[in-house]
């Protein structure tokens, strides 16, 4: 049954600007420096169609289908944090490389999977 375009999901991959802060520690666990930066990474955002309908084949009498907007594929991303400071708050000239992952594609999936 086609319920029309007004009930289709709007799940999409969108760029997102976030602030990242990372500490670097020595072997004893003491903070050596703190680096931060504003970076752009992808995020999944939007809605997906979910429904609950009567069913004689389930114990509860209802068949639930819940869909969530989430990543379909992920990829590693290297980012440079350009604002580094020592423990006294003095700006350092070096940068820090941070590894993270970001979604490359988002779509509707069954919730919890």
Which pTM was predicted? Answer: 0.70
Q: How far apart are CA 53 and CA 98, in angstroms?
A: 46
Neighbours of 44 (CB within 10 A): 21
Tell me, yes or no, whether 2 lies in a domain. Answer: no
Q: Has residue 4 been placed in a domain?
A: no
Q: How far apart are CA 35 and CA 79, in angstroms?
A: 12
Domain hosting residue 90, numbered range: 11-110
- Specify if 23 maps to a domain: yes
pLDDT band for position 101 (50/70/90)? very high
- 81: exposed, middle or buried (C-beta count within 10 Å: 0-12, 13-18, 19+)? buried
Do 108 and 69 meet the contact criterion of CB atoms below 8 Å apart? yes
In a domain, 3, yes or no: no
- The residue among 102, 37, 33, 50 whose CA lies nearest residue 71 is 102
pLDDT digits (tens, 9 = 90+) for 20-63: 999 999 999 999 999 999 999 999 999 998 888 888 888 888 88
Q: How far apart are CA 35 and CA 25, in angstroms?
A: 12
Q: Looking at residue 78, which CATH number applies to its domain?
A: 2.10.90
């Amino acid at each position: 049954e086609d319920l029309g375009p007004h009930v289709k999901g709007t799940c999409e991959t969108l760029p997102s600007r976030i602030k990242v802060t990372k500490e670097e520690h020595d072997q004893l666990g003491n903070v050596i420096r703190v680096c931060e930066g504003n970076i752009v990474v992808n995020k999944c955002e939007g809605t997906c169609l979910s429904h609950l309908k009567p069913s004689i084949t389930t114990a509860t009498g209802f068949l639930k289908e819940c869909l969530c907007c989430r990543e379909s594929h992920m990829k590693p991303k290297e980012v440079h944090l350009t604002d580094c400071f020592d423990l006294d708050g003095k700006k350092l000239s070096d940068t820090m490389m941070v590894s993270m992952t970001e979604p490359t594609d988002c779509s509707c999936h069954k919730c919890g999977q």
